[in-house]
């Protein structure tokens, strides 16, 4: 399955100082590099300007860490959803009489008094 292209990324308010402490031309270069990183995942070489390189590396490190957290969260959610569907399929494949017994065992006495009279 192809990786989904995102149309958003996070920038901390703490980064404002980085953007405002450089010249407009440097700021433009930094912003373009950040968008390029978000779009392609490529880290631009800014070794010709030490300040820009430091700023960009800090931003890139944050963005890459955020992306990894997001992918980890997606993987965990995908795994939980798959387990849920596997349990559901296994449950549906069982004998209907056995399913009713399991449902009756998992209901509280109050639920049994409310739903016990209904035929599902």
Report d(CA 120, CA 100) in Å as an integer.
9
- The residue behind tokens 């960009």 is 56
Estimate the share of the chain in helix, then strand, then coil, as percent rounded to the nearest 5. 70, 0, 30
- The residue behind tokens 């405002």 is 20
Asked if residues 52 and 29 have their Cβ atoms less than 8 Å apart, the reply is yes
State if pTM tops 0.85: no
pLDDT in tens, 3-61: 566 778 878 888 899 999 999 999 999 999 999 998 888 999 999 999 999 999 999 99
pLDDT in tens, 78-118: 998 898 888 878 777 776 666 666 666 666 777 767 766 55
Q: Which of 86, 27, 85 is nearest to 55 (CA)?
A: 27
């Amino acid at each position: 399955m192809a990786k989904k292209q995102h149309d958003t990324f996070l920038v901390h308010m703490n980064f404002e100082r980085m953007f405002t402490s450089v010249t407009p031309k440097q700021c433009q270069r930094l912003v373009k590099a950040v968008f390029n990183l978000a779009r392609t995942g490529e880290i631009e070489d800014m070794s010709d300007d030490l300040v820009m390189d430091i700023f960009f590396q800090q931003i890139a490190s944050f963005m890459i860490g955020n992306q990894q957290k997001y992918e980890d969260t997606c993987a965990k959610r995908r795994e939980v959803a798959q387990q849920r569907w596997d349990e559901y399929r296994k449950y549906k494949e069982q004998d209907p009489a056995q399913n009713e017994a399991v449902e009756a065992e998992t209901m509280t006495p109050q639920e049994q008094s409310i739903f016990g009279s209904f035929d599902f």
